[in-house]
């Protein structure tokens, strides 16, 4: 029944079981707040309350109305879906033509493009609070990530050259947005951006979020550069490659894992960020976290729980996808999954 050897002493036995109980409690502590939200989001009432009907598992006590509230009724999901499916089919057909035949995996691009088409179509022209907020978040986060990754990677490469003067000081300044309390950066950005006309603009929010994302990229890329062999760039130069070619053909593929994880951090920083956007943005750039913040303060509506449930589902789906891809690439490289 247990993994205890027969000669274990009483304290060992006690510790064995209490250790497992403590682990279980920590697990419950971490997971309960996330789980509890899910059934509540199907509440038929407008309160965060388990009604007697819900506890009796009576279907009357449950409804999808908060999901309908969140989605709204406008947007062009069907048009988006058709366009997405068409692109997906074209993509799959092109792939099949190149490989000389349809395979089971040909369905993947059709599904992926169909899903993206559906989401983009739904968000185009939608006017509900939540859909507008999601659209704003999806317009801001990828642009901010792109800027963070470009500038962060360049900065990391520059700062890892030994001949750059004041490297430490420059590095400290670059990663300061990560260390200075967010509210201080936000207030400073508010007054500065107001003076130069960036406050309340889309571009202003993107720049502010890029500034917050750059430190993550610098740190992860610098870490991967430690293991990068400089003689490779000299070898490339020796064989006639200019610095740009060297960067894209030699250096970039080797530091790519650092760039990607830095990019992921930058994306999540922007997607989750609520303080800076409240200062730098105006109501027109209201992002998803901002909408959740005001929603919780002004109206305690289970629509927020519906949004939270969907965000949790998306996170789980993303993690699962990444894990599947990782195992697949390990298998392709002939490594055993660890």
Partner 1 sequence: MKLTKTLMASTALTVAAGAVVAEDMAMEMTLVSWGGAYQASQHKAYVEPYLAANPGVTVTWDESSGEAVAKLRAMDEAGNVTWDLVDVVASDSMRLCDEGLAEELAHDDVLASAPDGTSASDDFGDLIVSDCFVPQIVYSTTFGYRTDLVGDTAPTEICAIFDLEAYPGKRALQKRPIDNMEWALYCDGVEKDAIYDTLGTPEGVDRALAKLDTIKDQVVWWTAGAETPQLLADGEVVMGSTFNGRLFSAIAEQNQPIGMLWDMQSFDLDGWIVPANLPADRKARVMDFLKFATDTQRLADQAKYISYGPARASSAPLVGKHEELGIDMAPHMPTDPANAGNVHVYDYEWWADNRDDLDAKFQAWLAK
Residues that bind partner 1 (CB under 8 A): 45-49, 190-191, 194-195, 199-200, 282-284, 294-295, 297-300
Q: Is 51 buried (19+), middle (13-18) or exposed (0-12) by CB count in 10 A?
A: middle
* DSSP letters spanning 71-86: H-S-S-HHHHHHHHHH
As measured in angstroms, the least distance from the Cβ of 190 to partner 1 is 7
Closer of 44 and 146 to partner 1 (Cβ)? 44
Asked whether the beta carbons of 304 and 295 are under 8 A apart, the reply is: yes
Token reading at 329? 């690439």
Q: Which is nearer to partner 1, 17 or 47 (CB)?
A: 47
Q: C-alpha dihedral over 180, 181, 183, 186, to 10 degrees?
A: 20
Give whichever of 58 and 330 is closer to partner 1, judged by the CB atom.
Answer: 58
Least distance (Å) between residue 71 CB and partner 1: 18
Burial bucket for residue 127 (CB in 10 Å: 0-12, 13-18, 19+): exposed
For 165: left if phi > 0, alpha if psi spans -120 to 50, otherwise beta; the answer is: beta
CB of 131 to partner 1, least distance (A): 15
Q: Which one, 199 or 224, has the nearer CB to partner 1?
A: 199
Residue closer to partner 1, measured from CB, 216 or 279: 279
CB of 112 to partner 1, least distance (A): 34
Q: Which is nearer to partner 1, 185 or 199 (CB)?
A: 199
CA dihedral 298, 303, 305, 307 (to 10 degrees): -110
CB of 199 to partner 1, least distance (A): 5
In the complex, what is the shortest distance from the CB of residue 307 to partner 1, in angstroms, rounded to a whole number? Answer: 15
Distance CA 199, CA 282 (A): 8
């Amino acid at each position: 029944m247990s993994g205890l050897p027969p000669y274990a002493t009483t304290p060992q036995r006690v510790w064995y079981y209490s250790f497992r109980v403590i682990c279980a409690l920590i697990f419950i502590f971490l997971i309960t707040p996330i789980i509890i939200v899910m059934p509540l989001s199907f509440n038929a009432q407008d309160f965060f309350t388990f009604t007697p009907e819900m506890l009796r598992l009576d279907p009357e006590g449950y409804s999808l109305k908060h999901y309908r509230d969140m989605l709204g009724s406008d947007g062009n999901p069907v048009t988006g879906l058709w366009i997405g499916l068409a692109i997906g089919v074209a993509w799959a057909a092109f792939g099949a033509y190149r490989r000389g035949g349809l395979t089971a995996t040909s369905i993947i691009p059709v599904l992926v493009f169909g899903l993206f088409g559906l989401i983009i179509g739904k968000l185009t022209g939608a006017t509900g609070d939540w859909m507008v907020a999601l659209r704003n978040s999806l317009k801001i986060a990828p642009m901010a990530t792109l800027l963070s990754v470009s500038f962060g990677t360049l900065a990391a490469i520059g700062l890892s050259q030994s001949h750059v003067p004041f490297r430490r000081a420059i590095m400290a300044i670059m990663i300061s947005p990560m260390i200075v309390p967010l509210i201080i950066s936000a207030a400073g950005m508010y007054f500065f951006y107001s003076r130069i006309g960036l406050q309340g603009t889309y571009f202003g929010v993107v720049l502010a979020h890029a500034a917050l994302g750059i430190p993550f990229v610098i740190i992860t890329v610098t870490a991967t550069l430690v293991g990068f062999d400089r003689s490779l760039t000299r070898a490339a130069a020796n064989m006639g490659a200019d610095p740009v070619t060297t960067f894209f053909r030699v250096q970039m593929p080797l530091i790519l894992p650092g760039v990607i994880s830095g990019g992921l951090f930058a994306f999540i920083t922007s997607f989750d960020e609520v303080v800076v956007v409240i200062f730098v943005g105006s109501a027109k750039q209201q992002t998803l976290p901002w909408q959740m913040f005001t929603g919780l303060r002004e109206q305690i509506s289970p629509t927020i729980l519906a949004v939270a449930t969907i965000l949790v589902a998306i996170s789980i789906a993303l993690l699962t996808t990444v894990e599947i891809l990782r195992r697949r690439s390990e298998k392709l490289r002939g490594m055993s999954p660890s």
